[in-house]
């Protein structure tokens, strides 16, 4: 994720996140919950919305012993022993859908977009003991560092099933343009894109709240990565189009409840910043491609720093995403070399 500064006009009314197993009330009947993640971005935000005799929760965190224990502490404490009636999942990534199946086993209904449900269910069933040949070829074409590639070839890859509970068959599809009633408010369903296909956002019709997931974040932008399942995808183009589509609905008074970092106000400025930041990054990348480069050599112009360690993989797939966007626009060419890597150059 690309770091961004917080300019004047963007405010964070709640600058202290809830402690583990605790909540912060961010609006009448809306509770902010934070679950830990074992990575550099070390948390995911979830929300509980009071529905009277039950709770609706937005996103779930990873499926893990620790995650289940935290939720049980919440159910026994701040959530007052009421059951979870609905689990609403913004998109299919494991930190958001991980425990949806666990809640369903306990009687909750699952509400989410169709694409997210299909992706999550497919990926939890697609368990791989080692990296498939297609994945290794994808890494080579991206110019992955040889030592990183050699290390991966000795490891078991990350599998969704490692941290996503099995999903039962039935769910309630959320559709662009519909209105749902949730916690005493009516909410417009609007879909984002780029970070995840058909990414759910919910906009309270009273103008007070927006549930943004990873589509609308404070101080960072979401990873726009390309993966072996769709190696020529253009998530950057999808993201920019989604920003333009959602921007007319933004106001300065809405409280944005994102999937990471802090709730914030000032969405119109934030939406402009999202678009501007990526256009500036694309300009820097294009200027850098005056000579041929592989994706793995393009971190500095894109992210303004070298990236190593645990963040390397996400940086690589996001770099491919930006290169694919320039390629779709006809601004760069790519050439597959004998070493198996794509070499990119400005037209």
Residue 54 in tokens: 């039950």
| Confidence (pLDDT) at 1 | 42
Render pLDDT for 142-174 as a digit per residue (tens, 0 to 9). Answer: 999 999 999 999 999 999 999 999 998 999 999
User: Average pLDDT in the 63-88 region?
Assistant: 97
133 has a pLDDT exceeding 60: yes
| Confidence (pLDDT) at 8 | 54
Backbone phi and psi for residue 19, each to the nearest 5 degrees, phi listed first: -70, 165
| Confidence (pLDDT) at 244 | 97
Render pLDDT for 270-299 as a digit per residue (tens, 0 to 9). Answer: 999 999 999 999 999 999 999 999 999 999
Domains of the chain with bracketed CATH = 24-265 (3.60.15.10)
| Confidence (pLDDT) at 2 | 40
User: Average pLDDT in the 18-43 region?
Assistant: 97
Measured distance CA(277)–CA(6) in Å, rounded = 13
Which pLDDT band, with edges at 50, 70 and 90, does 81 fall under? confident
Mean pLDDT of the chain: 96
**DSSP per-residue string spanning 267-328:** HHHHHHHHHHHHHHHHHHHHHHTTS-B-GGG-HHHHHSS---GGGHHHHHHHHHHHHHHHHH
Give the predicted TM-score (pTM) of the model: 0.96
User: Average pLDDT in the 167-189 region?
Assistant: 97
Measured distance CA(163)–CA(110) in Å, rounded = 18
| Confidence (pLDDT) at 181 | 98
């Amino acid at each position: 994720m690309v770091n961004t500064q917080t300019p004047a006009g963007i405010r964070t009314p709640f600058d202290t996140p809830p402690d583990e197993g605790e909540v912060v009330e961010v609006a009448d009947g809306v509770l902010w919950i934070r679950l830990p993640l074992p990575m550099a971005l070390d948390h995911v935000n979830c929300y509980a919305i009071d529905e009277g005799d039950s709770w609706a929760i937005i996103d779930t965190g990873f499926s893990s012993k620790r995650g289940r224990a935290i939720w049980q502490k919440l159910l026994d404490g701040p959530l007052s022993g009421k059951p979870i009636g609905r689990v609403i999942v913004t998109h299919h990534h494991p930190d958001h859908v991980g425990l949806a199946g666990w809640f369903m086993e306990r009687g909750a209904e699952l509400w989410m977009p169709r694409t997210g449900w299909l992706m999550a269910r497919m990926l939890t069933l697609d368990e791989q003991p080692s990296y498939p040949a297609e994945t290794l070829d994808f890494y080579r074409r991206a110019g992955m560092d040889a030592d990183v590639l050699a290390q991966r070839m000795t490891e078991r890859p990350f599998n969704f099933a490692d941290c996503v509970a099995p999903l039962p068959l039935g769910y309630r599809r959320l559709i662009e343009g519909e209105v749902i009633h949730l916690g005493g408010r009516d909410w417009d369903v609007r879909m984002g894109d780029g970070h995840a296909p058909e990414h759910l956002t919910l906009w309270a019709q009273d103008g007070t709240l927006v549930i943004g997931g990873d589509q609308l974040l404070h101080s960072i932008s979401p990873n726009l990565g390309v993966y072996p399942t769709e190696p020529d995808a253009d998530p950057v183009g999808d993201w920019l189009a989604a920003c333009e589509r959602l921007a007319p609905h933004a106001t300065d008074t809405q409280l944005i409840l994102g999937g990471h970092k802090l709730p914030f106000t000032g969405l119109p400025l934030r939406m402009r910043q999202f678009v501007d930041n990526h256009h500036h990054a694309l300009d820097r990348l294009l200027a850098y491609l005056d000579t041929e480069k592989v994706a793995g050599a393009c971190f500095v112009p894109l992210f303004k720093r070298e990236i190593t360690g645990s963040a390397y993989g996400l940086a690589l797939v996001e770099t491919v995403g930006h290169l694919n966007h320039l390629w779709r626009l006809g601004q760069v060419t790519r050439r597959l070399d004998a070493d198996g890597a794509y070499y990119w150059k400005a037209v």
